[in-house]
Structure 1
Amino acid sequence: MKSKVGCVAIFVAIVVVHAIGEVEVAKAAVTCNPLQLTPCAVAITTAGSPSAVCCAKIKEQSPCLCQYMKNPNLQKFINSPGAKKVATSCGTPFPKC
């Protein structure tokens, strides 16, 4: 009986390690494209609330936000209070770059 429990524990550990590895690969596979944040434009520039699509895109593009902040053409939007409000509303931590 103990050997079955040990085998199950090892199997679960392998699955968890594999899943964590897949998450890291998924993060690395994000294609940084600021146009993906277009659904957030109205919420960033006005007092509007972000849509579900906007929140999904913010979460998807969050690994890219520091890169966008370094771009002179994008930083005024990404560093704006509206962008911080949208990130907070969507439950996505605003990056500290």
Structure 2
Amino acid sequence: MKFGGAICIAFVIVLVSSLAQTNAVMEEETKGVCVPNELKPCIPAVKTGGKPSTECCGALKKQQSCLCGYIKDPKFSQYVKSKYAHQVLATCGVPYPKC
């Protein structure tokens, strides 16, 4: 019976650890994943002040929680801080982040 108890304990440990991993993935999905390339549809509007596309607005809304990170990153800050970035965000209904 000791062997059966050990198997039961091992099973419970595996089950609990797999549930912990599942929760971690779900939390990551709700926070969103920052993928700068997904904002490429916004580049023309941010550079020229033109009307952003529906695809651009969808990407901005999806990555709204990432904007502060982009502002702090020298590779992307020029786009988020650009002259037309506020206009694009406002048109898409995304508030400019207060970082």
Do they superpose with TM above 0.5?
A: yes
Q: Aligned pair 1:75/2:77, yes or no?
A: yes
Task: For structure 2, list consecutive stretches of 5 or more residues without a partner in the other structure.
Answer: 1-26
Q: CA deviation at 1:83?
A: 1.2
User: Considering only aligned residues, what root-mean-square deviation do their CA atoms show, in Å?
Assistant: 1.5
In the TM superposition, residue 27 of structure 1 has moved relative to its aligned partner by 3.5
TM-score by length of 2: 0.68
> What is the aligned partner in structure 1 of residue 86 from structure 2?
84
Structure 1 residue ranges (4+ consecutive) displaced by more than 3 angstroms after TM superposition: none
Check 1:71–1:45 CA distance in 2 against 1; reply closer, same or farther (3 A cut): same
Q: How does 1:13-32 map to 2 (within 5 A)?
A: 25=27, 26-28=29-31, 30-32=32-34
Distance 2:82 2:72 in 1: 13
Identity value in percent: 40
Q: Which structure has the larger Rg over C-alpha atoms?
A: 2
Unaligned runs of 5+ in 1: 1-24
When normalised by structure 1's length, the TM-score is 0.70
The answer as to whether partners of 1:66 and 1:95 remain within 8 angstroms in 2 is yes
